[in-house]
């Protein structure tokens, strides 16, 4: 067969296959054009899920009459003029493909008026890029693009559209995401002549938070941390949800690069790493984050629909995002947020979407990082001593906080209040069912899962020691012989250096026997045989070639879990207060290593409601 040049309309229809996947794709391209036009208000009218009609109107700068035909021609744009411009794209659109591609699979009408023009001008297009005949129109300043009968001339594509409800749901979700990227623009969306929502321009921080609450729910703001970090020419701002405010799906993750909504693998990996040891298994974090950097350092031309980007210094961006998010989460302390007992009604963590609404309701009161730090807390200062290795070893240090007592007779909370004021997690009162610590605070009571809390304290210290390369080790009075499989014995022999880094001294003593001679100093009353077998299982799964910073944390978590105080072991008042003080000084102490909450709070107001006081 002979080589031939394709007709213009067919070329545009081929391009439409990449740009126009469904009605929401059309909406995205056209709304981005409104952004570039400097619009302050955008109205989106949809009929029959977008298959019948998509009309988008803005009050932007408009298009002059002479450029209307060019705007509907392939590879014609006002946004770039040279390769240098392409290297530093700051606009949302830049290829000049959207309008001709859309017009090739629909009936398109374009009406536009610039500020100095006497009237607007209207043209219609079918993707052939010929036959334009501008007609005057009374349209105000700005632009309206009216798309009718999408895919009318490509029936095979039309058959792939979902139901009207589904297609409109995609459009509604898209507009909400785009509205989060531009607080300086007002949005309105209607479907079948019915207004779905109206989002006025959000100039102040309060108005911006109202928009976020309207889209993500008020629970998100109540359970999130505000971020504003800048380094090496990069700036990250926005809000990230606390680990206990999570989702079963990735449906509340909004990330913007220079105002452009993207889903990038590098970004996803950096966020996942920041949450890796504070998030419950199978759950996903929630966030609304904005990354700003030099346009020359990011390639936005890496995906036909501009949904992905490519960073020129990917490692720098990854490390910056990880560090900013990790530190923001780690710096949350009990003094900075409260945990409400309503979380007791939180459904089991799983991937059942039907429970998501219930989960969100429970999370609404679960953790409020925005709660103000009580003034009384600022009077409390923990003992300025080195971090102890074991809770038992902190009893003497913390007993000094309670006036007139010794380590065997801790002061009652009411006695300590006059001396020190209440610390954030209060003072221990009782050990309920030998599992939960009951503590009294200035504003209510707190319940702490002793094992989960101690596990987090130990884990954070092990991480710090491991990073410094100084995990303290203590010899065993009597070495422990452990019978394992020959394969595990081989693995233990190969991993001697790794065990040494973790504070263990292990030697092989036969085909299926290893001898444990020293353990990390943090460990106490631990089933060593079970622990070593679990660590060997981790090594067998991940292999010895992995990087410690990637998978070693799981092993440290295993050690911390085995070393933490066991459930049903009775704790003294001194031991409980020692653990509470350690929690107040420990990063990520609100959740255990598996992402479960370590403590919840019940305020005096909640107690009053239970007993109908004041009614």
The per-residue DSSP string of 20-43 comes to -SSHHHHHHHHHHHHHHTT-SEEE
Tokens of 172: 């509604």
Tokens of 396: 């003497």
SS3 content of the chain, % helix, strand, coil (to 5): 40, 20, 40
pLDDT of amino acid 222: 85
Number of domains the chain contains: 4
On the question of pLDDT at 381 being above 50, the answer is: no
Residues 183 and 300 in one domain: no
On the question of pLDDT at 168 being above 80, the answer is: yes
Q: CB of 233 within 8 A of CB of 293?
A: yes
Task: Taking residues 186-207, report their average pLDDT.
Answer: 95
Beta strand 505-508 pairing with 444-449: unpaired
On the question of pLDDT at 138 being above 70, the answer is: yes
What rounded mean pLDDT belongs to the chain?
Answer: 77
How would DSSP label each residue in 459-505? Answer: HHHHHHHHHHT---EEEEEEEEEEE--HHHHHHHHHTHHHHHHTT-E
Between the CA of residue 162 and those of 30, 47, 102, 156, 167, what are the distances in Å?
A: 21, 14, 19, 13, 6
Task: Taking residues 16-40, report their average pLDDT.
Answer: 86
pLDDT tens-digit map of 63-103: 999 888 888 877 666 665 566 656 666 667 555 577 888 88
Is 86 within the bounds of a domain?
A: yes
pLDDT of amino acid 594: 76
Residues 173 and 34 in one domain: yes
- Give the full edge-to-edge strand order of the sheet including 186-191: 135-137, 120-125, 107-113, 142-148, 53-58, 41-47, 186-191, 194-199
Residues 156 and 63 in one domain: yes
pLDDT of amino acid 342: 35
pLDDT tens-digit map of 281-327: 778 899 999 999 998 888 876 655 567 788 888 889 999 999 999 88
Distance CA 352, CA 363 (A): 16
Residues 34 and 150 in one domain: yes
CATH number for the domain spanning 264: value is 3.30.230.10
Is 425 within the bounds of a domain?
A: yes
The residue among 166 and 251 whose pLDDT is bigger is 166
Is 297 within the bounds of a domain?
A: yes
Is 361 within the bounds of a domain?
A: no
Task: Taking residues 221-226, report their average pLDDT.
Answer: 88
- Determine how many CB atoms are found less than 10 A away from the CB of residue 40: 14
The residue among 65 and 16 whose pLDDT is bigger is 65
Angle at 167 between CA 162 and CA 169, to 5 degrees: 135
Task: Taking residues 386-415, report their average pLDDT.
Answer: 38
Task: Taking residues 22-36, report their average pLDDT.
Answer: 92
On the question of pLDDT at 343 being above 50, the answer is: no
The number of residues making up the chain comes to 615
- Is-above-0.85 flag for pTM? no
- Give the full edge-to-edge strand order of the sheet including 599-603: 427-432, 436-441, 444-449, 599-603
pLDDT band at 609 (very low <50, low <70, confident <90, very high): confident
Burial of residue 204 (CB within 10 Å: 0-12, 13-18, 19+) is exposed
Alpha helices in 104-192 (DSSP H): 155-159, 164-181
Range of the domain at 161: 8-199
Residues 138 and 194 in one domain: yes
Of the chain, the percentage scoring pLDDT greater than 70 comes to: 73
Distance CA 332, CA 335 (A): 8
Distance CA 328, CA 225 (A): 7
Residues 432 and 485 in one domain: no
Find, among 253, 38, 47, 60, the residue nearest to 146 by Cα. Answer: 47
Stretch (H or E) spanning 430? strand 427-432
CATH number for the domain spanning 539: value is 3.30.1370.100
On the question of pLDDT at 134 being above 80, the answer is: yes
On the question of pLDDT at 167 being above 60, the answer is: yes
pLDDT of amino acid 310: 83
CATH number for the domain spanning 169: value is 3.30.565.10
pLDDT of amino acid 200: 95
Taking only Cα atoms into account, the Rg of the chain, rounded to an integer number of angstroms, comes to: 31
Is 360 within the bounds of a domain?
A: no
Low-confidence winner among 92-96, 107-111, 456-460 (lowest mean pLDDT): 92-96
On the question of pLDDT at 386 being above 80, the answer is: no
- For residue 47, which phi and psi values (nearest 5 degrees)? -130, 135
How would DSSP label each residue in 231-286? Answer: ETTEEEEEEEE-TTS-BSSSTTEEEEETTEE---HHHHHHHHHHTTTTS-TT-B--
Q: CB of 273 within 8 A of CB of 329?
A: no
Residues 392 and 317 in one domain: no
Find, among 210, 303, 323, 203, the residue nearest to 260 by Cα. Answer: 303
The sign one gets for the Cα dihedral 158, 160, 162, 167 is negative
* For helices 314-330 and 265-274, angle between their N-to-C axes, nearest 10 degrees: 30
pLDDT of amino acid 90: 65
Of the chain, the percentage scoring pLDDT greater than 90 comes to: 30
Task: Taking residues 392-417, report their average pLDDT.
Answer: 39
Residues 486 and 602 in one domain: no
Is 363 within the bounds of a domain?
A: no
Residues 145 and 48 in one domain: yes
Task: Taking residues 437-451, report their average pLDDT.
Answer: 90
Residues 254 and 331 in one domain: yes
The residue among 573 and 538 whose pLDDT is bigger is 573
Residues 512 and 598 in one domain: no
Is 83 within the bounds of a domain?
A: yes
Is 187 within the bounds of a domain?
A: yes
Low-confidence winner among 21-35, 117-131, 574-588 (lowest mean pLDDT): 117-131
CATH number for the domain spanning 405: value is 3.30.1540.20
Tokens of 206: 């309060």
How would DSSP label each residue in 560-614? Answer: HHHHSPPTTPPPPHHHHHHHHHHHHTSTTTTB-TTS-BSEEEEEHHHHHHHTTTT
pLDDT tens-digit map of 492-535: 888 888 888 778 889 998 888 999 998 877 666 667 888 788 78
Residues 397 and 318 in one domain: no
Low-confidence winner among 203-217, 237-251, 312-326, 383-397 (lowest mean pLDDT): 383-397
pLDDT band at 400 (very low <50, low <70, confident <90, very high): very low
Q: What DSSP character marks residue 549?
A: I
Low-confidence winner among 343-347, 417-421, 429-433 (lowest mean pLDDT): 343-347
On the question of pLDDT at 388 being above 60, the answer is: no
């Amino acid at each position: 067969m002979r080589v031939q040049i394709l007709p213009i309309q067919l070329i545009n229809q081929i391009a439409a296959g990449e740009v126009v996947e469904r009605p929401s794709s059309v909406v995205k391209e056209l709304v981005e054009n409104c952004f570039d036009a400097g619009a302050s208000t955008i109205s989106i009218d949809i009929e029959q899920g977008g298959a019948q009609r998509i009309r988008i109107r803005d009050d932007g700068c408009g298009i002059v009459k002479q450029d209307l035909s060019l705007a509907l021609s392939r590879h014609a744009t006002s946004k770039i003029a040279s390769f240098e411009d392409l290297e530093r794209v700051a606009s949302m659109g830049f290829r000049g493909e959207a309008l001709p591609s859309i017009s090739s699979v629909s009936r398109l009408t374009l009406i536009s008026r610039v500020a100095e023009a006497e009237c607007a001008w209207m043209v219609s297009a079918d993707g052939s890029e010929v036959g334009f005949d501008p007609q005057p129109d009374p349209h105000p300043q700005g632009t309206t693009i009216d798309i009718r009968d999408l895919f009318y001339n490509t029936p095979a594509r039309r058959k792939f559209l979902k139901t009207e409800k589904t297609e409109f749901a995609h459009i509604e979700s898209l507009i909400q995401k785009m509205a989060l990227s531009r607080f300086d623009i007002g949005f309105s969306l209607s479907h079948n002549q019915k207004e779905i929502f109206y989002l006025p321009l959000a100039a102040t921080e309060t108005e911006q938070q109202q928009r976020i609450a309207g889209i993500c729910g008020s629970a998100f703001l109540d359970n999130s941390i505000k971020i504003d970090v800048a380094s090496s020419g990069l700036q990250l701002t926005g809000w990230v949800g606390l680990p206990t405010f999570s989702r079963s799906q990735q449906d509340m993750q909004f990330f913007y690069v220079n105002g452009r909504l993207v889903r990038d693998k590098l970004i996803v990996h950096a966020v996942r790493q920041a949450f890796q040891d504070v998030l419950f298994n199978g759950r996903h974090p929630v966030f609304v984050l904005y990354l700003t950097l030099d346009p020359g350092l990011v390639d936005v031309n890496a995906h036909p629909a501009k949904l992905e980007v490519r960073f020129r210094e990917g490692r720098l961006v990854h490390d910056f995002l990880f560090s900013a998010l990790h530190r923001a989460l780690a710096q949350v302390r009990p003094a900075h947020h409260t945990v409400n007992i309503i979380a007791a009604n939180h459904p089991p963590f799983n991937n059942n979407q039907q429970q998501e609404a219930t989960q969100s309701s429970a999370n609404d009161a679960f953790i409020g990082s925005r709660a103000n730090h009580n003034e009384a807390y600022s009077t409390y200062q923990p003992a300025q001593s080195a971090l102890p290795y074991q809770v038992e070893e902190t009893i003497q240090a913390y007993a000094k906080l309670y006036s007139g007592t010794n380590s065997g007779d801790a002061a009652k909370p009411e006695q300590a209040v006059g001396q020190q004021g209440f610390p954030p997690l209060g003072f221990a009162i009782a050990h309920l069912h030998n599992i939960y610590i009951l503590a009294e605070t200035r504003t209510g009571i707190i319940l702490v899962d002793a094992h989960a809390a101690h596990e987090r304290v130990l884990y954070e210290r092990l991480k710090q020691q491991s990073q410094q390369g100084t995990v303290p080790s203590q010899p065993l009075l009597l070495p422990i012989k452990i019978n394992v499989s020959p394969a595990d014995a081989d693995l233990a022999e190969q991993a001697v250096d790794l065990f040494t880094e973790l504070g263990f001294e292990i030697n092989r003593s036969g085909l299926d026997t290893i001898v444990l001679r020293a353990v990390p100093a943090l460990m106490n009353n631990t089933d060593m045989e079970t622990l070593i077998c679990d660590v060997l299982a981790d090594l067998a799964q991940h292999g010895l070639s992995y990087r410690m910073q990637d998978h070693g944390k799981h092993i440290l978590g295993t050690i911390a879990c085995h070393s933490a105080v066991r459930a049903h072991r009775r704790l003294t008042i001194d031991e409980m207060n020692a653990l509470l003080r350690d929690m107040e000084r420990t990063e990520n102490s609100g959740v255990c290593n598996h992402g479960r909450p370590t403590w919840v709070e019940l305020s005096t107001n909640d107690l009053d409601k239970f007993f109908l006081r004041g009614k």
